[in-house]
């Protein structure tokens, strides 16, 4: 992967960046995404944020090698602390767990006062992000699910607005599976949720053999509920 060609996953993230945006890529790793977006004329400028020293130094080298030091600034810091309120109009966060992404947004809420577009790509637990968006009045504009290198990824795009606009009375199901993705039900969607079902049923089977406790029973009922929700969509 380089600034001329991104992975399919990151190219899909970039495709949702509004033209000539000032972007911040949080957890930027090698700064491939911001360098690519600027190099292609999609973003006018970019901030690459990284909290781990090694990737931070790699990002700085990547920007220097690409001769983009005027347009792409690499900053060391945790989450949204690398940007000032109103400094960017689009934020990308890709390749982390959904709970971590939701935590970054929650901790840095004061940096979102100008209502930038959010493009979020969780590796797991997209539900955590949908729930955060709902609770904080962000409108989920669109979703994609795709497979690359035998892994399935979800991408969520949101802007400040009516958080319930694309949801129905099946809210619990849609927060878990995604309101847009449920309607499309492409091959990647089917693959992801069939895999999840197999794993959950194995866990449930092991729980049945374990010593009964109240905590275990609560977890079991929660798992049974999730299995039912997914099966209702996959086996209508």
- DSSP character string of 141-192: EEEEEEEETTEEEEEEEEEES-TTTT--S-HHHHHHH-HHHHHH--HHHHHH
Q: Are residues 93 and 203 in the same domain?
A: no
Asked whether 101 and 26 are in contact (CB, 8 A), the reply is no
Of 166, 199, 215, which residue constitutes the final position of a domain?
A: 166
Residue 1 has pLDDT above 70, yes or no: no
pLDDT (tens digit, 9 = 90+) per residue, 200-228? Answer: 999 999 888 888 888 888 889 999 999 99
In a domain, 179, yes or no: no
What does the alpha-carbon distance between residue 33 and residue 55 come to, in Å, rounded to a whole number? 13
Q: What is the pLDDT of residues 173-204, one digit of tens each?
A: 999 999 999 999 999 999 999 999 999 999 99
pLDDT of 23 above 80: yes
Q: What average pLDDT does range 13-21 have in this prediction?
A: 97
What Cα–Cα distance (Å) separates residue 33 from each residue in 9, 21, 95, 111? 11, 13, 12, 21
Residue 93 contacts residue 120 (beta carbons within 8 Å): yes
The whole-number pLDDT of residue 167 equals: 96
Is the domain of 137 the same as that of 76? yes
pLDDT confidence tier of residue 123, bands split at 50, 70 and 90: very high
Over residues 134-144, mean pLDDT:
97
Whether residue 36 contacts residue 3, with contact meaning beta carbons closer than 8 Å, is answered with: yes
User: What is the pLDDT, as a whole number, of residue 210?
Assistant: 83
- The answer on 130 and 15 residing in a single domain is yes
pLDDT the model gives residue 235: 84
Q: What is the dihedral of CA 118, 105, 82, 28, to 10 degrees?
A: -60
Rounded-to-integer distance, Cα 216 and Cα 62, Å: 48
Residues 135 and 224 in one domain: no
Cα atoms in the 13 Å half-sphere on the side-chain side of 168:
9
Residue 175 within any structural domain of the chain: no
Structure tokens at 153: 């990824």
Reduced to 3 states (helix: H, G, I; strand: E, B; else coil), residue 84 is: coil
Domain match, 157 and 194 both: no
Predicted local confidence at residue 5, as pLDDT: 82
Instruction: Quick: pLDDT tens for 49-61.
Output: 999 999 999 999 9
Indicate the number of domains in the chain. Answer: 2
3-class DSSP state of 122: strand
Structure-token pair, residue 72: 């792409």
Residues 25 and 63 in one domain: yes
Does residue 121 form part of some domain?
Answer: yes
pLDDT of 93 > 70? The answer is yes
What residue numbers bound the domain in which 67 lies?
8-166
Q: What is the four-CA torsion angle of 74, 98, 159, 184, rounded to 10 degrees?
A: 130
What's the pLDDT tens digit per position in 40-84? 999 999 999 999 999 999 999 999 999 999 999 999 999 999 999
State whether 85 and 197 are in the same domain.
no
CA 68, chain centre distance (Å): 26
Band (38; pLDDT cuts 50, 70, 90): very high
Triad 26, 28, 29: Cα angle to 5°: 145
CB 31 within 8 A of CB 55: no
Q: What is the largest CA-CA distance in the chain?
A: 62
For 108, the enclosing helix (H) or strand (E) is: none
């Amino acid at each position: 992967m380089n600034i001329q060609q991104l992975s399919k996953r990151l190219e899909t993230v970039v495709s949702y960046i509004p033209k000539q945006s000032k972007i911040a890529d949080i957890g930027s790793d090698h700064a491939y995404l911001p360098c690519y977006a600027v190099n292609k004329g999609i973003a006018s400028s970019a901030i690459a944020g990284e909290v781990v020293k090694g990737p931070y130094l790699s990002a700085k080298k990547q920007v220097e090698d690409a001769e983009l030091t005027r347009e792409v600034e690499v900053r060391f810091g945790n989450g949204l602390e690398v940007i000032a309120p109103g400094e960017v109009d689009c934020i990308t966060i890709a390749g982390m767990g959904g709970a971590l992404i939701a935590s970054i947004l929650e901790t840095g809420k004061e940096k979102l006062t100008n209502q930038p577009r959010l493009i979020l790509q969780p590796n797991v637990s997209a539900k955590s992000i949908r729930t955060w968006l709902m609770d904080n009045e962000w409108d989920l504009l669109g979703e994609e699910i795709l497979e690359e290198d035998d892994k399935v990824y979800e991408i969520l795009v949101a802007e400040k607005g009516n958080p319930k606009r694309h949801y129905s009375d099946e809210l619990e199901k849609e927060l878990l599976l995604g309101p847009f993705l449920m309607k499309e039900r492409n091959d990647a969607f089917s693959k992801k949720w069939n895999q999840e079902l197999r794993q959950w049923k194995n866990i449930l089977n092991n729980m049945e053999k374990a010593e009964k406790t109240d905590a275990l029973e609560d977890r079991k009922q929660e798992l049974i509920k999730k299995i039912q929700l997914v099966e209702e969509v996959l086996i209508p």
